[in-house]
Each structure stands twice: as structure tokens, then as C-alpha cells.
Amino acid sequence: MPRPVFVIPAPEQASIAVSGGTARFPVRRIFCVGRNYGEHAREMGHDPDAEPPFFFTKPADAVVDDGARVAFPTQTDELHHEAELVVAIGTGGANIAVEDALGHVWGYAAGNDLTRRDMQAVAKAARRPWDMAKGFDNSAVVGALHRAVDGAVPKGRIRCLVDDDLRQDADLAEMIWPVEWVIAHLSTLVALAPGDLIMTGTPAGVGPIKPGQTCAIEIDGLSPARVTLG
């Protein structure tokens, strides 16, 4: 099949770094899980036992590499950090069984689901979509991706530090829906494909980042995801 001729220059492929080399992982879509830690659900005023997981999305080109400096986003006075474990899908599929789900994972990374919290609150109150509160430019900070080994999911602590001030600190085992369950459930809603990322939710302690501050997400055994807000 001949290569298409586009009427405007084709967009650059969004991608994230891979630990240990210069190769990069292409990003197709970014899915985010809401309220996957009980204490975070409670701090946002919700019952963590009341509902199955729900998902929202960010555009692929919202990804930002570790160490970047980005402009403070417009239209917000309350930009919040959300520390998350990121799952990179290497093998696609639909209606994936829970017991098979981890076989579809290429690797894992630390991530930060930046959120215009004030805009999100207004959207919630008006029963409107959250898109502009979550899917804005440079809103998905992702550290270098580490290849999954023998189907193992990262274990240990997930932390967020803002200018060395510890804001979030939890154990990945506190997830309400573990990684394999999230993948299986999401695959009943859409057919997953290679290049999809899943941000698996944030623990309690979300809070503001101000212009000039540096926010670092750390997960045991993974590379950090750091960003400085201009």
C-alpha cells in the first residue's frame, strides 16, 4: 500500500524515553483511572467502595519527559500534582482476561497527572466534562520507561515531592483495583493497542504546585518523573 500524502505536515509521533538507551516508546493514547486509592477518593469526597473504576483520557502529545521545564498552564490558579504508576501496553487486545492482562504490558514508569483543580471543580459542579481540566498541554509527565520483567508489577512506595517537600507517600499495594484488573476492565470498553499508556490513579495528598517549583514523582525501582513549572 503506498504511503499517504498529507495536505499538511504530519504531526510528530509522541513518545516517552526508555531507561538504559536512546530508544523511545511511541505513545498512541493515554487512559487515566479515577479514584484508585481509597484515601484519595475520601479526600475528594467520595466513597471508594461505591463504584467500579472509571476512566478519562489525555491526548498523546500531552506527554512530557523527566527533567523538562514547562510553562505554567493558563486558565488556572490551582494546578495540582497527582503521583501515578504508568503502565505501557505492548500487546493489544479486547476483553482481556485478568489472568492474561500482565502479558500485555511492555513496561512501567512513574508519572504525574497534572490537573487544573479549580477548572475540574467548576466542571463537576456544572456536570460538564473534565477534558480541559485534565487533557491540557504538558499535563502528563512521564519518567523513563522500564521494561516489565517476567510479568512482575512494581512494588513499594510511590511518592511526590514539591521542592523536596514530601506531599504524597503511599504503597502501590494500596490500589483498590490492581494493574491486571484495570487492564482487563479497560479492555472491555476499548480495544487496547500497542503504545497505549494507562495512568493507574493517585494516592492521597494531592495539592498545588506554584510557578517556579519543581515536582518529582518517585516510585521504588523506577526512574523519577520531574518537572519544573515556569
Please give the full DSSP string across 5-63, using - where no structure is assigned.
Answer: --SSPPPPPPEEEBTTSS-EEE---EEEEES-BHHHHHHTT--TTSS--EEEEE-GGGE
Question: DSSP states of 185-216 as a string?
Answer: HHTTTS-B-TT-EEE----S--EE--TT-EEE
User: Domain limits of the chain?
Assistant: 15-229
Q: What's the number of CA atoms in the CB half-sphere (13 Å) around residue 57? A: 11
pLDDT of amino acid 43: 57
Query: Could you give the angle at the alpha carbon of 203 between the alpha carbons of 25 and 159, nearest 5°?
Result: 65
Q: How far is CA 217 from CA 143, 157, 159, in A?
A: 8, 11, 6
As a whole number of angstroms, the distance between CA 230 and CA 223 comes to: 23
CATH number of 15-229: 3.90.850.10
Q: At residue 179, what is the residue type?
A: V
Residue-by-residue pLDDT tens, the chain, 230 positions: 788 999 999 999 999 999 999 999 999 999 999 889 976 555 555 555 657 788 999 999 999 999 999 999 999 999 999 999 999 999 999 999 999 999 999 999 999 999 999 999 999 999 999 999 999 999 999 999 999 999 899 999 999 999 999 999 999 999 999 999 999 999 999 999 999 999 999 999 999 999 999 999 999 999 999 999 99
As a whole number of angstroms, the distance between CA 140 and CA 162 comes to: 16
Query: Could you give the angle at the alpha carbon of 78 between the alpha carbons of 74 and 83, nearest 5°?
Result: 105
Q: Residue 180: which H helix or E strand, with range?
A: helix 179-186
| pTM, 2 dp | 0.94
What burial letters (b/e) apply to 8-31, b meaning 16+ CB within 10 Å?
eeeeeebbbbbeeeeeebebebbb
Contact 134, 94 (CB under 8 A): no
The closest of 153, 161, 132 to 226, measured between CA atoms, is 161
